[in-house]
Structure 1
Amino acid sequence: MSTHGNWRKSSYSGEGDGNECVEVANSTTHVAVRDSKAPSCGTLTVPAEVFATFLGGIKRAGAER
């Protein structure tokens, strides 16, 4: 998966330089996630449908609070 130049941070990534969050990069089949404070330490790459299910679970849990 080529993610060069495709990394983006959440709009919730914090004040200042926004280094308090994760970054994600999408391809048509996968999503890569890395720590914005240490981007060279590695990435977690999962199939796009798995990431969508993960986000859906987070949204549902937030709505239940």
Structure 2
Amino acid sequence: MKKTLYLMRHGQTLFNVEHKIQGWCDSPLTELGIKQAEIAARYFDDNKITFDHCYASTSERACDT
């Protein structure tokens, strides 16, 4: 049985732009970060990729992505 693992980082955040370490702190996605998330979603849709399981951090940046 073949399994495929997809790893994805959150989109760009305000702290990324300001070169700040986020760690447990959270910062919102920038407009670019939102566009990056939309591009990722489109990729999965266009390639008809579905998931049996999905795991994500509870941080705002990860959930928004």
Q: Report which of the two has the higher share of strand.
A: 1
TM-score where L is the length of structure 1: 0.30
Report which of the two structures shows the higher radius of gyration computed on alpha carbons.
2
TM-score where L is the length of structure 2: 0.30
Q: Report which of the two has the higher share of helix.
A: 2
State the structure with bigger RCO (CA 8 A, min sep 6), 1 or 2: 2
